[in-house]
Structure 1
């Protein structure tokens, strides 16, 4: 399998497509905005004029779009992936969507002669650029094995977690953990600054102990700098928290801390901060503490 189509060349999709080019695949990309297609072409890929054009010769089709309706929009209908992909092609949905949507669309894919895998990713923009994403994959084990080279070109930790929809369920759990970690890291930094502690030193020692995490490593400095350029937007994390809280309710599972953090993330989006990186949740913690940013915090480190 050498021909790969990538539908959705955003913050995550474009670097993933670029890494596939570097790995030696023939990569054809399609995106609603032409500048993203041009960027892929500049990196050695090929541009398509439509979804149909992108997938017609593809052995593997990867979709990376924001939400459940977006995925359905690009794969279903007369202009979608299922109508134009060749029989026996593999469809890898790297988007983060509702597990029930994933199960339904997998059924539709099979009826169209396409082999589906739900393979949401974790690791953010930098993980996509570096090709070290964590990928949780749902679908048939044989299909997972068949596309191993494609997945290895964009990820580092790649695990088959069960049948269709399982990847999306694990991704929902991932987003639950990440949101909780971001909130607690923000609270810890505001707490440390209130006491005039050297926060750089504090995060270094905390990172070396049980409190250490990828969230602390990747988001701690952004909070200290009050620099929230998006790697993963709060708007998208808000969507993901809606997925996990809904799925938990359907399963009869209680996630009290997760539900609270979901409300806090939603509050940021409602205040117009959905375009910030999800580490921007720090702003709300400062606000709730009566702080207004650097001028209101002890940051003379």
Structure 2
């Protein structure tokens, strides 16, 4: 049994699975979501494509690292759902960054603003986990811009093949490209806010002071 937990195109997954199946080898595509925090805490979301019997066979492996394990369909379906996840991730990230630039320009207390909106309908994992990092200007990655950009590129290629629009994803792709050109590809994907800062002339938050000995 081969379990592929990387993020690649659904079509590539199906082709690899066919070759393995022809040799009597089962394959599951099981990409993950949850960032470095989820990996460290064993709370990842795992979206699995493949035969149901093989999913059950692999369940002890999945349960060791994930909290939400969902069999989403046949081989390739795991990768399709992961790209759905990435569309939502970058859309949420862009909305968060846009909102924080707006809040900074409006002169409100960013921590109080974040606390207020996180508890309401606008709340999200991205806002709760990456919003505070942006306010502190902490660009340590749970997932880097370079890796996020790789996944957005997959989204755009698959969307083109399916004939569906991905407007936010396309916008984020181009904003990330600007940041990569500035040498920021190793920073966390929430550093997307820097592209909006360049456009607006507004800088969000401030770096936390470094405590001395």
Please state which band the TM-score falls in when normalised by the shorter chain: over 0.9
The alignment yields a C-alpha RMSD, in angstroms, of: 1.3
Give me the TM-score of the superposition, normalised by structure 2.
0.93
CA contact (8 A) 1:228 1:276 kept: yes
Shift of 1:249: 0.9
The runs of 5 or more residues in structure 2 that have no matched partner are: 207-213
SS of equivalent residue, structure 2 residue 67: strand
Match of 1:211 in 2: 122
Deviates more, 1:110-119 or 1:214-223: 110-119
Match of 2:93 in 1: 182
Q: Among residues 20, 26, 34, which one is paired with 1:115 in the alignment?
A: 26
Matched length: 206
Shift of 1:267: 2.2
SS of equivalent residue, structure 2 residue 182: helix
Cα 1:181–1:222, aligned 2, differ >3 Å: closer, same or farther? Answer: same
SS of equivalent residue, structure 1 residue 246: helix
SS of equivalent residue, structure 1 residue 137: strand
Per-residue displacement from partner, 1:64-119 (whole Å, max 9, x unpaired)?
xxxxxxxxxxxxxxxxxxxxxxxxxx111110111111111111222233210000
CA contact (8 A) 2:134 2:204 kept: no
The runs of 5 or more residues in structure 1 that have no matched partner are: 1-89, 296-301
- Normalized per residue, which structure has more helix? 2
Per-residue displacement from partner, 1:175-230 (whole Å, max 9, x unpaired)?
11111111110111111111210111111110111100000011001100111112
1:36-75 mapped onto 2 (5 Å cutoff): none
Match of 1:260 in 2: 171
CA contact (8 A) 2:33 2:45 kept: yes
Match of 1:272 in 2: 183
1:249 lines up with 2:150 in the alignment: no
Q: Counterparts of 2:129 and 2:9 in 1: how far apart (Å)?
A: 26
